[in-house]
Amino acid sequence: MTTEIAEAQDYIDDMARKRGYVLDYHKVMAKHDFPVLKAANHVVSAAYLDQRTLDRKTKELIFIVSLTVMRASKGHIQSHIRVALDLGLTPTEILEAIEISLPEAGIVAFQTGFEAWREVVGVDGIEPTVQVHEGGSGAS
Cβ neighbours for 52, distance < 8 A, ≥ 6 positions apart: none
Do residues 88 and 128 lie in contact, with contact meaning Cβ atoms separated by under 8 Å?
A: no
Q: What's the pLDDT score for residue 138?
A: 64
* Angle (CA) 96 98 100, round 5°: 75
Q: What are phi and psi of 32, to 5 degrees?
A: -110, -20
Separation between Cα atoms, residue 66 and residue 32, nearest integer Å: 28
Separation between Cα atoms, residue 80 and residue 94, nearest integer Å: 10
Separation between Cα atoms, residue 9 and residue 136, nearest integer Å: 40
Identify the segments of the chain with pLDDT beneath 70: 137-140
Separation between Cα atoms, residue 55 and residue 53, nearest integer Å: 7
Q: What is the CA radius of gyration of the chain?
A: 18
In terms of Cβ atoms closer than 10 Å to its own Cβ (0-12, 13-18, 19+), residue 41 is: buried
pTM of the model: 0.81
